[in-house]
Structure 1
């Protein structure tokens, strides 16, 4: 199931290098490019608000199977596309599927894990979304550079993985009992069980900082690669886009051995440093600084997000865990998509480097806020090891 979870994010990550190719081939405007990125986040957020708790009522497996069937539809739309309208439609369906699948996969994998493997599986579920984004961006970049039909290579390959994912979901036990209230759960809401609310709001700015930083690279890197650094190679662009989520995936696993409350504070400081480095690198036209920022801030996101899930997971039972993780991903993907939309609009009025610097400053402010909040919480608790993460 972890492989299927990675595949959900793979398609989203593949978009960044492919969109640049499509823009060259079809000649659509920058705002349409931004719309293709943003519609994914909008439909994903709407799905999390409306259906984030559905799996707590009807079971994990039905939600996951429907989500992966929608992703197969997405692949078909990309393969049939001959203009930006098709791509926007594909991204809208992709966002709905990802919104339904991401939090549900997280809950299901944690619930299926044995007590001995629970800490490891919690870390892997946090690494899967960013790892999938990295693999998608890297694979698509290589396909653009070295094949004549990159869309076919990317989405036919993804189709095979999704079919495997559907089979794997159907063969594992159901972990959430059916219970009444499925229709009522479709009312737009943030469903955070009372026992989780204290930690949830303490960790919210940290989750937002990490995913906003990811949006900088997945959403804006293709633009500043070409406009600031003169990079037009699909492979190089794919590598630069992939560096941040790849660092996040690796760090999420590496920091899994550290007490979760310590890892959250380390993640906040790494995010702060990464945002400063990336913003300074674009302002100074220094690619090494941008790469250093991607690796540093990406490591911070991995440390922060993985440890946040380790802290939050035990605060809710199976009957409420899907809704809790839906709320976490609602914050994550709001921070991932909305700032990129605003940045894309801002570039019509201010230079791209100025926009990136302001974006980095916002990430740094969120990371600093999170660091202060977590430090105060640790001080009140009297020990930085209150939560050991598993």
Structure 2
């Protein structure tokens, strides 16, 4: 009994460290309009600054995604916290655009290092028989941390002094506390190997996985693209189209999408993998439709449900995609297939967002957003149609 309590304590403390790191990756979201005003750059630049993060995550996943299997979870998590701290210092020191690029790059490195290692650590720390609850903890702290970042920054920027400095100072304090906690937590990898044994992971999709992978990856791509647009350009839309300059409101809207995603991921256990993918696609389509309505009629009352519905659909679709693809993969290729899915998902955060930025100047923010919604809607309808004709087998 005492061992179980200790195991859960380690699991929850590891989860708290995970949440702190992920919060730092979305911390700048409600602050982008302030940076635009300070450094005088375009909406395209905002989207590129945002997308640098995703490219860094993809690079780490491909080059060192399996590093914690070799050198241990704690060293990799400490490297991740070091990158998070360096990112915060860049934003605190920002005197020009280059600092923002550097900060986002380091933030992406921290997320790439943390995503796999922290998830594994939380699950391995749980006592015997606690696998399902540990999965819940890992899911909740990942998306919950992402949601807390814009919420914290928005509230501090709106109601406290030094809006471009205080959020990062607070987060650096939390990172320092996390390092202190992590140094006292046990390692979960028994046999460790030198860093020189780590090799880049080569993504791949075996022929037997391709029928489910295409639709699953498309749903993941659209879900992450929706998050990318919410976190990069929604503050500008709220300010320009709805005259909402309250940074706390911007932070809450983005946070709601991430919190709703947590709910969607947890709902997969009830609805089942076979139904979660098409239902997730339906949620994504409904979220896109609500966002289109918000753009057309300039209604904040539609922005909020678009974040909630789209986020819930993203959670259903992404966890369903992970379960379906992982279940269909041969055991010796599973890690490579899941890495491929993550690469596609993070491409969704970057490529469409930059496309919106490129179209903003000739078409305006609303016009660019309508093009994005139309393209993503077509993709998710195609994926849903395929899934309805070829249901994912129950039990994968």
Q: TM-score, normalised by structure 1?
A: 0.87
> CA separation in 2, counterparts of 1:75 and 1:144?
15
Any conservation in 2 of the 1:272–1:297 contact (CA below 8 Å)? Answer: yes
Matched, 1:261 2:274: yes
Any conservation in 1 of the 2:124–2:188 contact (CA below 8 Å)? Answer: no
Matched, 1:189 2:202: yes
Match of 1:245 among 258, 283, 296: 258
> CA separation in 2, counterparts of 1:119 and 1:199?
24
Any conservation in 2 of the 1:56–1:321 contact (CA below 8 Å)? Answer: no
Any conservation in 2 of the 1:278–1:290 contact (CA below 8 Å)? Answer: yes
Judged with a 3 Å threshold, the aligned counterparts in structure 2 of structure 1 residues 190 and 40 are, in CA distance, closer, same or farther, namely: same
Any conservation in 2 of the 1:243–1:295 contact (CA below 8 Å)? Answer: yes
SS at structure 2 position matched to 1:386 = coil
SS at structure 2 position matched to 1:87 = helix
Matched, 1:144 2:157: yes
Which range is displaced more, 69-78 or 157-166?
Answer: 157-166
Query: Cα deviations across residues 286-320 of structure 1 (Å, max 9, x unaligned)?
Result: 22222222211111012222333444566779987
Partner of 1:368: 381
Any conservation in 2 of the 1:8–1:102 contact (CA below 8 Å)? Answer: no
Any conservation in 2 of the 1:32–1:84 contact (CA below 8 Å)? Answer: no
Any conservation in 2 of the 1:212–1:335 contact (CA below 8 Å)? Answer: yes
Any conservation in 2 of the 1:52–1:322 contact (CA below 8 Å)? Answer: no
Partner of 2:3: none
How far did 1:11 drift? 1.5
1:107-146 paired onto structure 2 within 5 Å: 107-114=120-127, 116-146=129-159
Q: Aligned-pair RMSD on alpha carbons?
A: 2.9
Partner of 1:283: 296
Matched, 1:343 2:356: yes
Partner of 2:395: 386
Which range is displaced more, 130-139 or 338-347?
Answer: 130-139
Query: Cα deviations across residues 157-184 of structure 1 (Å, max 9, x unaligned)?
Result: 2223323433454423323744689556
Partner of 2:186: 172
SS at structure 1 position matched to 2:361 = coil
> CA separation in 2, counterparts of 1:182 and 1:190?
20
Partner of 1:232: 245
> CA separation in 1, counterparts of 2:365 and 2:128?
49
Any conservation in 2 of the 1:60–1:174 contact (CA below 8 Å)? Answer: yes
Q: Report the count of equivalent residues.
A: 382
- Structure 2: 5+ residue runs without aligned partners? 1-13
Any conservation in 2 of the 1:207–1:304 contact (CA below 8 Å)? Answer: yes
Partner of 1:355: 368
> CA separation in 1, counterparts of 2:273 and 2:81?
31
Partner of 1:47: 60
Partner of 2:216: 203
> CA separation in 2, counterparts of 1:142 and 1:386?
43
Judged with a 3 Å threshold, the aligned counterparts in structure 2 of structure 1 residues 9 and 124 are, in CA distance, closer, same or farther, namely: same
> CA separation in 2, counterparts of 1:242 and 1:111?
28
> CA separation in 2, counterparts of 1:176 and 1:359?
47
> CA separation in 1, counterparts of 2:62 and 2:301?
39
> CA separation in 2, counterparts of 1:138 and 1:35?
22
> CA separation in 1, counterparts of 2:111 and 2:121?
15
Query: Cα deviations across residues 2-47 of structure 1 (Å, max 9, x unaligned)?
Result: 2222222211211111121222233333333233212212222222
Which range is displaced more, 176-185 or 90-99?
Answer: 176-185
1:14-25 paired onto structure 2 within 5 Å: 14-25=27-38
Any conservation in 2 of the 1:56–1:323 contact (CA below 8 Å)? Answer: no
> CA separation in 2, counterparts of 1:304 and 1:12?
22
How far did 1:212 drift? 0.9
Which range is displaced more, 242-251 or 345-354?
Answer: 242-251
Match of 1:273 among 281, 286, 290: 286
SS at structure 2 position matched to 1:185 = coil
SS at structure 2 position matched to 1:45 = helix
Partner of 1:162: 175
> CA separation in 2, counterparts of 1:371 and 1:120?
30
Which range is displaced more, 2-11 or 249-258?
Answer: 249-258
> CA separation in 2, counterparts of 1:226 and 1:13?
19
Q: TM-score, normalised by structure 2?
A: 0.85
Judged with a 3 Å threshold, the aligned counterparts in structure 2 of structure 1 residues 195 and 11 are, in CA distance, closer, same or farther, namely: farther
Any conservation in 2 of the 1:263–1:307 contact (CA below 8 Å)? Answer: yes
